[in-house]
Structure 1
Amino acid sequence: MFTVAERFLRYVIVDTQSDPASSTCPSTLKQKNLGKILVDELKAIGIRDTHLDEFGYVYATIEANTDKKDVPVVCFCSHMDTSPDCSGQDVKPIVHKNYQGQDLILPDDHSQVIRMSEHPDLKNQIGNDVITASGTTLLGADNKAGVAEIMDACYQLINHPEIKHGKIRILFTPDEEIGRGVDKADLKKLGADVGYTIDGESAGTIENETFSADGAVLTIKGISAHPGFAKGKMQSAIKIAGAIAAMLPFELSPEGTSGKEGFVHPVGISGHVEEAKIEFIIRDFADDKLHQHAGVIRSVTEEVLKQYPGATYTLETKPQYRNMKQVLDKHPQIVEHGIEAIRRAGMEPRLRSIRGGTDGSRLSFMGLPCPNIFAGEHAFHGKHEWVSVQDMEKAVLTILNLCSLWEEKA
């Protein structure tokens, strides 16, 4: 059968880009193409209950091989889609064997150069085999590295019965990149007690904290008039929207924040003279700060509208996901086992917060506590994306260690 690297190289050439403009689930039917491949491979290694449902989710079960009756059911989850931010069509993966710190000039676009100075984690890859795309697409390591690692762990569990474990459930999801990764996930059918997403960055990291997230839509009502007779009458909603976006404080922007700092980010502007809309994402690690950040949008809007006395606005906010630490702190054993699994794989564990969200964020609040384990993916959502073969192998070993730990500690 395939190694984890061979699996990964097979999966990334399948275009699974999701589409935020689509209302279907999955948002693109081509995501099911990878789902079908995964089902066939899982059946080939002996996992017979594997199936792809109508919404593009892959479910599978590895039955327990231990006499212990109280082992929690553990789920491993990764997403199949790639980001809409960069093309995932006709991906050509390249394996740079025995990397020695050199600049990686991507052959299909020589202006695309992956430099160690810009990707400091490459310092940990000397002597390793680094995989990149060819310069015109993303690679898809986010999250096909995680998919390949879970698939390889399944193969190892089936072929090495000496690894004792309880029941293991596998879940591959569509549409994570557009925030809908678990919209149609059937947790009753999944039947898991604890979960781990395999969707993190540097080898040895485990993430127990994500942003909390809201979405917001600001609707501006202007006043339309014939442009030839508009003096003293027209109040363009387009110009008002532009002024609001320009007045948002830099220190509350993604490009002006880091660490535990939250942000307000306009992600889309549309409209015409009479009405315009700005779509925002609002992020912070503390829920109460989301309301404060929405208040900044409101105060900036009201300040701008002082110059447009006939214009009005509405601001609607909706929750998207919440910081999974709120749930995981109630179940410390889940993260502790993750840390120990990484240590047993020969790495120094690092507990991190992620300036983003994972499927685990929502799964945790749906009743499946679910931290995020490293997959080795780097520079995701762009043409400089990369992963190393050796980091993927370490992730497989970490998954196997987790299976053993839950059985051992039961």
Structure 2
Amino acid sequence: MSSVLNRFLSYVQIDTQSDPQSTSFPSTEKQRDLSNQLVIELQELGIEDAHLDEHGYVYATIPANSEKSNIPVICFCSHVDTSPDVTGANVEPIVHQKWNGEDIILPDDPTQILKLSEHPDLKNQIGNDVVTASGTTLLGADNKAGVAEIMAAAEILVTDKRIKHGKIKILFTPDEEVGRGTEKVDLDKLGADYGYTVDGEAVGTMEDETFSADGVKITIHGVSTHPGYAIGKLENALKIAGEILAALPKNLSPEATEDKEGFIHPVHVEGIQEQAVLNFIIRDFTEFGLHEKETLLKEIMERVLLSYPNSKAEFKVTEQYRNMKEILDQHPQIIDNAMEAMKRSGLNPITRSIRGGTDGSRLSFMGLPCPNIFAGEHAFHSRLEWVSVQDMEKAVEVILNLAQVWEERS
């Protein structure tokens, strides 16, 4: 069994699901279970400064073995948490060896079927070893594939002195899936010049552009009274919330948009007749488009409230992350070196936009330019999530080549 597969199978069985409703940091203590294990494994490799800080971040340094003194410090980063959308408890990974192209029926829920017709990237996996969960949980390849790949690469960088490289930093973050992955990261302590998140999809891809993202919280204050005597008085906050949701334009929803189109997406509703809260995520590739959608949502809220003269609502926007391309375009060598590393791995590299975000989005604006390279994860946030062993091994190779390219070009 390859090192990266062995690590991956171990990591996915540790429940690290994050919680968007939590106010603690990290949002769930169980994320530390994996982070603590990673620290132990890094220390066993001889990486003396590997540690878990009070906020749940893992920091580690692989010392340089090159005589050159001008090599930029490169960081490789992945997140330990898994999506709140599907349970990550009691994951049972299954390795479908030398997959023959037939539908994969997940045994614990036979209605979960991984089909080539519905997952086009599977066409490149015939003959490879495909890893899935058993059907009742997500797999956790997002982003434990990236974690396993960085760890496997770290082992090689420490033991194989033939690979010349500068100082390498490792960063494992909590809470990426709830948009808080970089909230308490200490970039001064990290001490890196450039970074790469290993959290992408198809082998050979690199993402240098993300959505810009905001969260919107609408708090509706209705008028409550006894329903038996409510005529002319009751203004039900739940019904107001329902009307706002019903008025959302269908062509600006995630299920109706693609490519560079943004959306307005409700993600959480709660309340009683006196007060209701709606939470949205707003996405677009430009800030102009982002603010345009927020203005539209506020106009919808205000229009609905016209029918409820004694009710009111609060509209709060919270910045989440911004399109990292604005920063990365100022540092073309980051992309060029990654492209070269992929070519050396026998790949035809492709840069593309991601309809989402990574820790690299915020890290880039915090001062650590950080594109996203592939980890091989697919169908993330679902029970059909999968990754292939060969793609994970190729990601390890790219990480090693990246370390060498930066050394050679310095």
Deviation of 1:328 after TM superposition, in Å, equals 0.4
Other-structure match for 2:192: 192
Other-structure match for 1:306: 306
Other-structure match for 2:179: 179
Other-structure match for 1:55: 55
Deviation of 1:408 after TM superposition, in Å, equals 0.6
Aligned residues: 410
Deviation of 1:95 after TM superposition, in Å, equals 0.3
Residue 204 of structure 2 is aligned to residue 208 of structure 1: no
Deviation of 1:233 after TM superposition, in Å, equals 1.8
1:290 partner amino acid: L
2:275 partner amino acid: E
Other-structure match for 2:33: 33
1:366 partner amino acid: M
**Alpha-carbon distance in structure 2 between the residues aligned to 1:155 and 1:363:** 25
1:393 partner amino acid: E
**Alpha-carbon distance in structure 2 between the residues aligned to 1:344 and 1:291:** 42
**Alpha-carbon distance in structure 2 between the residues aligned to 1:330 and 1:30:** 38
**Alpha-carbon distance in structure 2 between the residues aligned to 1:33 and 1:270:** 31
Deviation of 1:262 after TM superposition, in Å, equals 0.6
2:295 partner amino acid: G
**Alpha-carbon distance in structure 1 between the residues aligned to 2:223 and 2:52:** 51
Query: Structure 2: 5+ residue runs without aligned partners?
Result: none
User: Larger deviation: 396-405 or 335-344?
Assistant: 335-344
2:219 partner amino acid: T
**Alpha-carbon distance in structure 1 between the residues aligned to 2:29 and 2:275:** 34
**Alpha-carbon distance in structure 2 between the residues aligned to 1:25 and 1:80:** 14
Deviation of 1:377 after TM superposition, in Å, equals 0.3
User: Larger deviation: 268-277 or 251-260?
Assistant: 268-277
Other-structure match for 1:153: 153
Deviation of 1:120 after TM superposition, in Å, equals 0.7
User: Larger deviation: 204-213 or 10-19?
Assistant: 10-19
Other-structure match for 2:43: 43
User: Larger deviation: 339-348 or 197-206?
Assistant: 339-348
2:148 partner amino acid: A
SS in 2 for 1:138: coil
Deviation of 1:2 after TM superposition, in Å, equals 5.8
User: Larger deviation: 302-311 or 28-37?
Assistant: 302-311
Other-structure match for 1:14: 14
Deviation of 1:221 after TM superposition, in Å, equals 2.4
Q: How is 1:7-406 mapped onto 2 (pairs within 5 angstroms)? A: 7-406=7-406
Q: Deviations over 1:309-349 (max 9, x none)?
A: 33322211121111111110111110111111111111111
Q: Deviations over 1:373-399 (max 9, x none)?
A: 000000111110000000001100110
SS in 1 for 2:380: coil
**Alpha-carbon distance in structure 2 between the residues aligned to 1:267 and 1:300:** 17
**Alpha-carbon distance in structure 1 between the residues aligned to 2:59 and 2:196:** 15
TM-score (norm 1): 0.98
**Alpha-carbon distance in structure 1 between the residues aligned to 2:186 and 2:259:** 34
Deviation of 1:356 after TM superposition, in Å, equals 0.6
1:94 partner amino acid: I
User: Larger deviation: 310-319 or 283-292?
Assistant: 310-319
Q: Deviations over 1:214-256 (max 9, x none)?
A: 1111122222222111112212111111011011001111111
2:277 partner amino acid: K
**Alpha-carbon distance in structure 1 between the residues aligned to 2:45 and 2:220:** 57
Q: Deviations over 1:24-58 (max 9, x none)?
A: 22222211111121112112222111111121111
**Alpha-carbon distance in structure 1 between the residues aligned to 2:28 and 2:275:** 30
**Alpha-carbon distance in structure 1 between the residues aligned to 2:381 and 2:172:** 19
**Alpha-carbon distance in structure 2 between the residues aligned to 1:64 and 1:278:** 50
1:64 partner amino acid: A
**Alpha-carbon distance in structure 1 between the residues aligned to 2:15 and 2:301:** 41
1:260 partner amino acid: K
User: Larger deviation: 241-250 or 268-277?
Assistant: 268-277
Deviation of 1:184 after TM superposition, in Å, equals 1.4
Q: Deviations over 1:83-117 (max 9, x none)?
A: 11111111110000011111000111111111111
User: Larger deviation: 354-363 or 303-312?
Assistant: 303-312
1:292 partner amino acid: E
SS in 1 for 2:75: strand
Q: Deviations over 1:183-224 (max 9, x none)?
A: 111111100000000000000000000111111111222222
1:128 partner amino acid: N
State the 4+ residue runs in structure 1 displaced beyond 3 angstroms. none
**Alpha-carbon distance in structure 2 between the residues aligned to 1:8 and 1:204:** 20
Matched residues, percent identical?
A: 63
**Alpha-carbon distance in structure 2 between the residues aligned to 1:20 and 1:96:** 33
**Alpha-carbon distance in structure 2 between the residues aligned to 1:275 and 1:170:** 45
1:17 partner amino acid: Q
**Alpha-carbon distance in structure 2 between the residues aligned to 1:69 and 1:393:** 30
Q: Deviations over 1:151-177 (max 9, x none)?
A: 010111112111110000000111111
**Alpha-carbon distance in structure 2 between the residues aligned to 1:19 and 1:189:** 27
**Alpha-carbon distance in structure 2 between the residues aligned to 1:219 and 1:27:** 23
1:201 partner amino acid: E
**Alpha-carbon distance in structure 1 between the residues aligned to 2:273 and 2:304:** 16
**Alpha-carbon distance in structure 1 between the residues aligned to 2:38 and 2:232:** 63
